[in-house]
């Protein structure tokens, strides 16, 4: 049967006379009970070891939530004395910000006898706070709760790791966002053609990326002595803080002045002032005193715009509150300034080319139209955008030696200086040919020979040319691939010419000419393809729409070429993005006075 554990009791046995007669031995087998107690002891040891290994602290509370037993492990962490713990318990060392919430939850759980599970911060004996997860359960005996047993787990390391992970994620997200904004800015700057458009992009990016309240871009003059602020292309986006330095206008700053922009240009380095005291320290109290009295700005960033290592201007952001610029933001701003400098340099080149081409075009297009007693003329030229004002569209009206009127409308493919120069060559050649032999077919045939001898095969140029007797309205017309003229009459519906337009200049073709007569009260309108064609409307649909628009023109508009050309342009471009230049030339024969 193996070893047994017995509990033995020896008692004396006495007779009736009270004298000992022997000994009574009682033996109780305790084997199973001792084994059961050993199992319980081992389980308690395992439980304690498990709690210690898991950094858990166990505590016990009364059914009403009060303290009943000491918790040495808890006091070892918090530094409480037995009296402290007995008086306030674990709640007394919970962080003040967490305590109201924890007390309310604990009170509700005790009243409802449901599991208490939450987390809070605990003040340790060193005075620091650590994060604990807690779970307490009611212990039932029958239908009543006799006590609460709770276990606290220190999760500070886990919380710190989560916070670190959150901070890293936030930093990575911020870096990714700044990279995306820089890429977006680069894309937007690549589309900016003028310096004003570049400034508008920088203004939008600065305000969205770093929360700047104001921004400005200033460019050096040719002498490198002064800075001039460039106004953004959109109204309402300009810099609102208009003074900087000692009473000087922000629109006109000397490089030698003590200003944010001047220092950035003069020293070719970023200038940072995170609050007004920093600005005073760097620029001088006397220099900034008046400025700070007249502005709501409280933090500043100045960045030089460098091209080939030399400054061409400066970029400035400012804030209406003190603002610390982080290292990541500084790197972003320096990269943005680099992109801005490239865009400004490119825009300056474009504007110089644009100015040259515009002057060339202005010299080639007629400054005014001939004034004739029997015919009224009006012309309009609308560039594709308000910035790209130079294209290959052109028109010309001039008197011939025999007093007849030569009228030409043409379109040279492309834009810029090359297109303007090509337009000039065609116009001048047409005039020379017309003075020798004004017949339309002969003039276009001469232009064909010129193109074949001098122009590139890829060059695409169309011309509509007519010779008209202003006294009678009779004339001749020839077309080299240009859109057909529009005919408007008070007695018949508006229509476009159905004659074959011919081929563009330089393409093999037998030039034809047709005779016509502009009757009293009628109008002939010449135009370029930009009036009828765009990305959403083909030529055929555009011609139909042009006829319908002309038919809707009121009689007083048809009788006034100035109003008519405006009416046609406005109605034909309404609702469409203009992607090409538009040229319109109208000739009207008014009724003769009674």
In this predicted model, what pLDDT tens digit does every residue of 457-479 receive, in sequence order? 667 889 999 999 988 889 999 99
Assign 393 to helix, strand or coil: strand
Percent of the chain at pLDDT > 90 equals 37
Token readout for 167 is 């901070």
At residue 99, the pLDDT reads: 92
At residue 233, the pLDDT reads: 57
pLDDT per position as a tens digit, 563-578 = 999 999 999 998 887 7
Is the pLDDT confidence value at 241 over 60? no
At residue 474, the pLDDT reads: 92
The answer to whether 83 and 92 are in contact (CB under 8 A) is: no
Q: What is the DSSP letter of 148?
A: E
Token readout for 195 is 């310096």
Considering the chain, what is the average pLDDT of its residues? 84
The pTM of this model reads 0.53
Order of strands across the sheet that contains 495-496: 376-382, 582-588, 523-527, 486-488, 495-496
Give 138 or 507, the one with higher predicted confidence.
138
Highest mean pLDDT among 187-201, 412-426, 531-545 belongs to: 531-545
Assign 536 to helix, strand or coil: coil
How does residue 240 score in pLDDT terms, banded at 50, 70 and 90?
very low
Go through 523-534 and write b for each residue having 16 or more CB atoms within 10 A of its CB, e for each that does not.
bbbbbbbbbbbb
Using alpha carbons, list the distances in angstroms from residue 275 to 128, 211, 321. 33, 16, 8
* HEC per residue, 6-61: EEEEEEEEECCCCCEEEEEEEEEECHHHHHHHHHHHHHHHHHHHHHHHCCEEEEEE
Number of neighbours of residue 228 by Cβ within 10 angstroms? 15
Q: Using the structure block, give the residue that is written with the tokens 């006091």.
A: 75
Least confident range of 29-43, 201-215, 263-277: 29-43
How does residue 586 score in pLDDT terms, banded at 50, 70 and 90?
very high
pLDDT per position as a tens digit, 516-540 = 999 999 999 999 998 998 888 888 9
């Amino acid at each position: 049967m193996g070893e047994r554990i017995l509990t033995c009791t020896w008692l004396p046995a006495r007779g009736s006379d009270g004298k000992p007669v022997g000994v009574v031995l009682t033996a109780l087998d305790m084997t199973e009970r001792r084994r059961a107690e050993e199992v319980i002891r081992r389980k308690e040891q395992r439980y304690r070891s498990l709690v210690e290994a898991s950094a858990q602290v166990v505590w016990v509370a009364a059914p009403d939530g009060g303290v009943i037993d000491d918790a040495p492990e808890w006091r070892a962490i918090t530094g409480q004395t037995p009296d402290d713990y007995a008086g306030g318990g674990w709640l007394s060392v919970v962080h003040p910000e967490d305590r109201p919430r924890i007390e309310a939850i604990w009170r509700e759980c005790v009243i409802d006898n449901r599991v208490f599970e939450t987390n809070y911060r605990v003040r340790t004996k060193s005075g620091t706070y650590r994060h604990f997860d807690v779970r307490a359960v009611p212990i039932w005996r029958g239908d009543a709760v006799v006590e609460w047993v709770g276990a606290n787990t220190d999760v500070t390391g886990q919380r710190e790791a989560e916070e670190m992970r959150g901070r890293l994620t936030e930093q990575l997200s911020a870096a990714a966002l700044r990279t995306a904004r820089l890429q977006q800015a680069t894309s937007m700057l690549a589309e900016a053609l003028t310096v004003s458009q570049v400034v508008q992009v920088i203004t939008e990016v600065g305000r969205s990326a770093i929360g700047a309240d104001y921004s400005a871009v200033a460019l050096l003059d040719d002498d490198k002595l002064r800075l001039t602020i460039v106004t953004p292309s959109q109204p309402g986006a300009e810099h609102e803080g208009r003074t900087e330095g000692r009473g000087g206008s922000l629109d006109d700053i000397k490089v030698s002045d003590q200003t944010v922009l001047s220092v950035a240009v003069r020293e070719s380095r970023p200038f940072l002032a995170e609050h007004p005291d920093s600005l005073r320290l760097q620029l001088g109290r006397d220099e900034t005193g008046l400025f700070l009295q007249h502005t709501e700005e409280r933090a500043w960033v100045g960045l030089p715009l460098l091209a080939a290592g030399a400054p061409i201007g400066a970029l400035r952001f400012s804030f209406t509150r003190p603002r610390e610029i982080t290292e990541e933001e500084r790197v972003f701003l320096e990269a943005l300034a680099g992109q801005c400098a490239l865009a400004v340099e490119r825009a300056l080149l474009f504007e110089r080319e644009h100015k040259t081409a515009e002057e060339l075009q202005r010299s080639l297009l007629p400054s005014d139209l001939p004034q004739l007693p029997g015919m009224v003329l009006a012309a309009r030229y609308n560039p594709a955008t308000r910035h790209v004002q130079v294209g290959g569209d052109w028109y010309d009206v001039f008197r011939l030696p025999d007093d007849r009127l030569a009228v030409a409308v043409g379109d040279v493919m492309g834009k810029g200086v090359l297109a303007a120069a090509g337009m000039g060559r065609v116009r001048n050649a047409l005039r020379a040919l017309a003075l020798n032999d004004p017949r339309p077919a002969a003039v276009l045939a001469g232009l064909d020979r010129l193109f074949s001898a001098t122009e590139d095969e890829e060059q695409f140029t169309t011309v509509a040319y007519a010779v008209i007797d202003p006294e009678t309205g009779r004339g001749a017309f020839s077309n080299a691939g240009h859109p057909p003229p529009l005919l408007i009459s008070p007695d018949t519906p508006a229509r476009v010419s159905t004659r074959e337009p011919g081929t563009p200049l330089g393409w093999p073709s037998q030039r034809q000419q047709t005779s016509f007569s502009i009757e009293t009260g009628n109008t002939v309108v010449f135009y370029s393809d930009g009036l009828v064609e765009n990305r959403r409307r083909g030529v055929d649909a555009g011609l139909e729409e042009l006829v319908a628009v002309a038919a809707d023109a009121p009689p007083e508009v048809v009788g006034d070429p100035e109003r008519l050309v405006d009416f046609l342009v406005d109605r034909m471009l309404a609702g469409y993005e203009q992607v090409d230049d538009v040229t319109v030339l109208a000739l009207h024969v008014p009724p003769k006075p009674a």
